[in-house]
Amino acid sequence: MKKSVLFLCGGWKGHQPEECVALFSEIMKEHGFEVYVHNTLEILSDRDFLSKLSLIVPVWTGGSLTAEQEKGLLEAIFSGVGIGGWHGGMGDAFRNNPGYQFIVGGQWVAHPGGIVEYEVNIVKPDDPIVKGIRDFRIKSEQYYMHVDPSNEVLATTTFTSITIPWIEKCVMPVVWKRMYGNGKVFYSSLGHIRADFDIFEVKEITKRGLLWAAR
């Protein structure tokens, strides 16, 4: 089976979905993937097409899936198609579809302080997605998320919020992987805008995670 990846490119423009998809489309092509980019969600109803994919990458902040689209996506991942993504494009997509959120293993709920400088801590240094990458700092949105305790967490961040004191010292997952049936799931909350991927660690973790998730 030829390696192939579907990018779902749309939703809120503030996360620069087109620019981010352009970057990772080229990266996946360099790794031998046939790339499909769709700016509508109707393709999720085509179960025969989905079944032939190696990976689905949602880059679609907000939006909603019809019952048929959600069922098509869930069945594809459960059968073994991988899914991976970043920030709000995956972790704040399809808010009204809890089945989708169950796949992802988390949902964005806040980014206290907006754009802030914070540290990302690698907690599973032997995992191939983060191996050789040290703790690093980034100035971007620090995502506060509701997360599934079954996630295998690879990196975290610790909140230091003056305006929201009750989350002070809260350790929050940033990068994780998990399974949904036979499908591998990768998520990173990094990557608010295209420029965030100019940071080596952010782009490298995302690239490795997508390649890991692809069957």
| 148 touches 45 (CB < 8 A) | no
CATH number of the domain where residue 129 is located: 3.40.50.880
The total of structural domains in the chain comes to 1
**Domain range enclosing 66:** 4-213
Q: Could you list the pLDDT tens digit for every one of the 215 residues in the chain?
A: 689 999 999 999 999 999 999 999 999 999 999 999 999 999 999 999 999 999 999 999 999 999 999 999 999 999 999 999 999 999 999 999 999 999 999 999 999 999 999 999 999 999 999 999 999 999 999 999 999 999 999 999 999 977 899 999 999 999 999 999 999 999 999 999 999 999 999 999 999 999 999 99
| 179 touches 166 (CB < 8 A) | no
CA 16 to chain centre: 14
Give, to the nearest 10 degrees, the angle between helix 17-30 and helix 200-213: 60
Tokens of 66: 């019809």
CA distance 166 to 173: 17
Cα distances (angstroms) measured from residue 199 to each of 138, 190, 193: 8, 10, 11
Give 97's contacts (C-beta < 8 A, 6+ positions apart). Answer: 64, 65, 70
Give 83's contacts (C-beta < 8 A, 6+ positions apart). Answer: 55, 56, 57, 58, 77, 90, 103, 104, 180, 183, 184, 185, 186, 213
| pTM (whole model) above 0.95 | yes
| 131 touches 79 (CB < 8 A) | no
**DSSP helix, strand, coil percent of the chain (3-state; round to 5):** 35, 35, 30
